[in-house]
Amino acid sequence: MKAPPSSLQPTELGTVTAGAPGGRSGHRGARVGGRAPGCADDRERYPLYGAATADITPCAFWPHTPAEPPVKIDAEGLRNVLLLQDRRDASTPHRGGKMLREKFGDRARLVSVDDSGHGGYVLGNNSCALNTATRYLVEGEMPAKDTFCRAD
């Protein structure tokens, strides 16, 4: 059973920020390398998301060596990058998707979805976004140009 998009983000933020007294996140990364003061400052300056965005994610402690090098974020390389971005995603704002698309140049296409939340393909229900992403994943068909998916 998947969580409704409306409950995913508050659950994530509650887990990451935890609201512990003393300006610390409940997340172990906040207490590493002097990060706790940054979380406290950002919590005060930006009460909605401050501590969550100043914190270190669990991935910083992942005991795993990557299987391959990171993808270069530039216009060179394979022309098969599909970006799916909700227009009102507070975790990863649409502007970030547009900036990434600009960096990739013609090797990418941006599918902008007139929706809120995070996880437009896995958690979303926009038929245009789902069909566009599924066609890409199953048939390898990239949209000819950037696509705007209206709300269903």
- Residue 102's pLDDT is what? 96
Cα(10)–Cα(44) distance, integer angstroms: 19
Report CA 42 to chain centroid distance, whole Å: 20
Which residue, among 119, 112, 121, has the nearest Cα to 150 in the 3D structure?
A: 112
Would you state the pLDDT for residue 81?
94
At 37 the pLDDT is: 60
16 has pLDDT over 50: no
Whether residue 49 is predicted with pLDDT greater than 90 in this model: the reply is: no
Contact assessment for residue 147 and residue 112, using Cβ atoms and an 8 Å cutoff: yes
DSSP one-letter string for 60-95 = GG-----SSPPPP-SS-S-S-EEEEEEEE-SSS-HH
With a pLDDT cut of 70, the percent of the chain lying above it is: 66
Prediction pTM value? 0.61
Give dist(CA 40, CA 6) in Å, integer: 26
Averaged confidence pLDDT in the chain: 77
Q: What is the pLDDT of residues 70-123, one digit of tens each?
A: 878 999 988 899 999 999 988 888 999 999 999 999 999 999 999 988 877 878
Specify the residue for token string 């600009």.
102
Domain boundaries, the chain: 21-65, 81-149
